[in-house]
Amino acid sequence: MPYTEHLMNPFGIDIDLADGAMHPPDTHLVRRASDMRGYYADEAALERLIAQQDDPLHYEVFEKHIPEEPGHLLLCISKLQPGCVGDECFMTKGHYHTVSGTAEVYLCLAGQGYMLMKTADGRCAAEPMTRGRMVYVPPHWAHRSINTSDEPLVSFCVYPAEAGHNYGDIATEGFPKRVYRRDRTVVMEP
């Protein structure tokens, strides 16, 4: 088929670098505290948060519609709220890519935290995230954002359009490390 038959038109979008909003996104994915059951060490603290704060916003992903086909790149804004479950810092669920040999670039626009990464064979790495810092997530590394600051952790993410998201394996395996804030000090354990 000649490429002209499925040619996509170029486009541009505006991104508010301060608050992470994309104008306009095509899809807006919302994760609330209740979506995070099973992810935090202190399950009772998560249930208290859900009950006392009416199931608060946990994180959002703003995306554009781009065909999920090789050759394209998917892009999104990830915005993770500040806070703790017990004393464990708010985090995203984390995932491997379904096509696990696909990488991802995260450019941090606001906030502070970590990109926690692990491989299926047990390697673990944590890269600091702060405004202006790019983190490269190589192929085969599961990845999760963790917010250690008092403001939203906002990142711009780009990855191959065929990557897909595998949440099941990491939900079963977990990550080898957790990040806590105790007396305003950030602690990574074990």
Contact between 60 and ligand F6R per CB under 6 A: no
Length of the chain: 190
Q: Distance (Å, rounded) from C-alpha 146 to C-alpha 135? A: 13
Both tokens of 128, joined, read: 């600091």
Residue 92 binding: pick among Zn ion, ligand F6R, none (C-beta 5-8 Å cut-off by kind): ligand F6R
Tell me how many helices (H) and strands (E) the chain has: 2, 17
Contact between 159 and ligand F6R per CB under 6 A: yes
Q: Distance (Å, rounded) from C-alpha 43 to C-alpha 25? A: 33
Q: Minimum CB separation from Zn ion for residue 130, in Å?
A: 20
Is 47 within 8 Å of 23 (Cβ atoms)?
Answer: no
Contact between 78 and ligand F6R per CB under 6 A: yes
Contact between 145 and ligand F6R per CB under 6 A: yes
Contact between 104 and Zn ion per CB under 5 A: yes
Contact between 104 and ligand F6R per CB under 6 A: yes
Both tokens of 1, joined, read: 């088929």
Contacting residues toward ligand F6R, per CB under 6 A: 61, 76, 78, 92-95, 104, 143-145, 157, 159, 165
